[in-house]
Amino acid sequence: MLVPLYLDAGGALHAVFTERRADLRRHAGEISFPGGRRDEADADLRATALRETHEEIGLPPQAVEVLGALQPTPTFVTNYAVYPFVGLIEPGFAWVLQEAEVGQVLELPVERVRQGYARRRMVRRGVPFRTDVYDVDGHVIWGATARIVADLLDRVPPD
């Protein structure tokens, strides 16, 4: 998984997320960073993150300066481990969405994400639970993505 970041003209840090299509069978409408499963042809998980990002939103690997990695993050429902890599990109990229999977790209100011933190009651498949979320203008980031965001925010000082 890639956590694409960029600085806007005013110096504000932004993170690039994808919102999955609402009509998908799994994880419909959920917000995440671009990424997916490793292919045998991928040299390593970093290569997987760059390839998947290119496939999902059109960002070429050579347009990403990989800065490092965040903690591997487990998913509870699918029982995967997600390996997030942080990459710096230029602002203003013209996204090319993989229409079968990605509904839209969200470019969210990191400080707005930080300010959107809350503990919220949610219901999934009829089961209520309380979890950490980040809500930016009704875009709710939760689950493994929220845990990855928390790790990122621990490393990025507030403005």
Q: What per-residue confidence (pLDDT) applies to 21?
A: 87
Domains in the chain, CATH or no CATH each: 2-155 (3.90.79.10)
Q: Could you report the per-residue pLDDT of 81-135, keeping only the tens digit for each? A: 899 999 999 999 999 999 999 999 999 999 999 999 999 998 877 889 999 999 9
3-class DSSP assignment, residue 105: strand
Q: What per-residue confidence (pLDDT) applies to 23?
A: 83
The label of the residue with tokens 């090319």 reads 96
- pTM reported for the whole predicted model: 0.93
Q: Taking 80 as the threshold, does the pLDDT of residue 10 lie above it?
A: yes
**Average pLDDT along the chain:** 93
**HEC string for 92-159:** CCCCCCCCCCEEEEEEEEHHHHHHCEEEEEEEECCEEEEEEEEEECCEEECHHHHHHHHHHHHHCCCC
Rounded distance, CA 145 to CA 150, Å?
Answer: 9
